[in-house]
Structure 1
Amino acid sequence: MSYDKTLDGHDAEQQRQDTLLRATLHNTLLLTHALLPACRRQLPGFARMEEALAEWLQARYGTVVELFYAHGLRQSRATMQSTGFSVHQDTEDFSFIEYTVVVKLTPDGLGEAPSSMRVVGADRPFYYSPAAGASGCFRADLYHASVEPESEDEHLKIAFFFRRSTRGERRAKRALTESDEAVAELELAQRRKLAAPQLLG
C-alpha cells in the first residue's frame, strides 16, 4: 500500500521498501491490528505505553479506548519522501479512529531545534518537548501535517491510533451501576441502623 500525501515528492518505491522493512535503514513500520499482540510481547515498553496512553485518554476525554494500530516512523530531513506527511486525516483508512497520539522516542540533542507537527487551523505548530517520551494528542479526524525538521538529527516516533472501545464502555457502565447499587445498599443499611433505635423507643 502506498500513501502519496508526503511533504516532498512522493516516492512510492522508497515508501514500499521502507514499509516492508527490506533494507537495513528502515524509515517506517506499520504495526497492523493483527501484529499488535506480537508487538506487546516483543517490543520492550510498547504494551506499557499503550496502557498509559489509553488510561490518559480515558481520564482526559471520558472515553474508554483501545488501540487499533500503530505506525513507527524514523523522521529526518532525509526521510521526508516517506515519513513527512502533507495535510490529511487519520480517519481516511479507518473512519472509526477517534484519537491519534504521537510519542517521540528519542530525546533532542543539546540546543537542537524541536521536532514539530501542525493541526490545520491551529494558531501555531505543536512542538515536542526535548525529552524522550514527549507526546502530542489530537482528534484523528482533524486535518494535520508533518513539519519539515529544522534539525539535522533524526527522531524515532510511534503514532498510536485509538478507537472507542464498546466492550470497555459496557464494562465501565456495568461497574458504575454495580457501584451505585453498592452505595445504595450501604445507605439503606445506615438508614436501617438509624431507624432501629427510633422503633425501639
Structure 2
Amino acid sequence: MQRQAAEWVVVRRRAPRRAIVRLVTYLLTGVGITAVGWVLFVTEPQRLASGDPNPAARAPLFVAICVVFAVAAATVPVWRPPRLAVNHYGLAVRPGAFRTVLLPWVHVEEVAALTVPGRRRGEAYLLFACDGHLGRHSGDRPRFVDRAVLREADRATEGRATGFDLAVRLTDFRQSPEGLLRDLAGFAPPHVLVADRVE
C-alpha cells in the first residue's frame, strides 16, 4: 500500500493489462472494419442517377466515426483503472472505470477474498457486504454499473458471491489476497468480518 494525501492508504495497482488488451483489440478490429468499408464503398458515386445524394458514398465516414467512438470508449478503463483506498473512516472502491463508491466502515459488515481455482489460472475477487442503511445518510449505494465485477464474480463462483454488494478483481492489484486482507483488517472496526474464502 502507499499513502496518498494524509489519510487514505491506496492499494498499489498493477498495469491495466486487461484494459490495454481490449483497447488494442478494438483498435485493430476498427482499422480492419474501416478498411473493409472503404474498399466496399470507395467506388460509390456521390450522387445517384436521380441527382439525390448517395447514402452508400458516406458509409466509410459513418463506419470511421463509429470506430473512433468505440476506441475512445475503450481508452477510458486504461486511464481510470480500478482503485481501492482505505482509512479508519471507510473504503473508497472503484471497481471499474467510472464511479468511486465510498463505503463507511459503519455500514460494512464483511470483507472477503474469494479465490476461484481455474484450469489455467484462478481468479480472485475482493467482496464487500454492507448493511441496508448504506447510502441513506452517508456513503454511496452501489449502482448497477458499479456491480459489473460482482456479477462476474457471482457467475464465476456459481452464486457464492450472492449477498455481497460490491467486488473488485484482485488481479488488478499487486498484493496477494492474504496480504491485502491483513492490511484491511488493520483498519476495520471489530464488527466487520474479514474472511478468506477459497472455493
* TM-score of the two chains, using structure 2 as the length reference: 0.24
User: Which has the bigger relative contact order, CA under 8 A and spacing at least 6?
Assistant: 1
TM-score, length basis structure 1 = 0.24
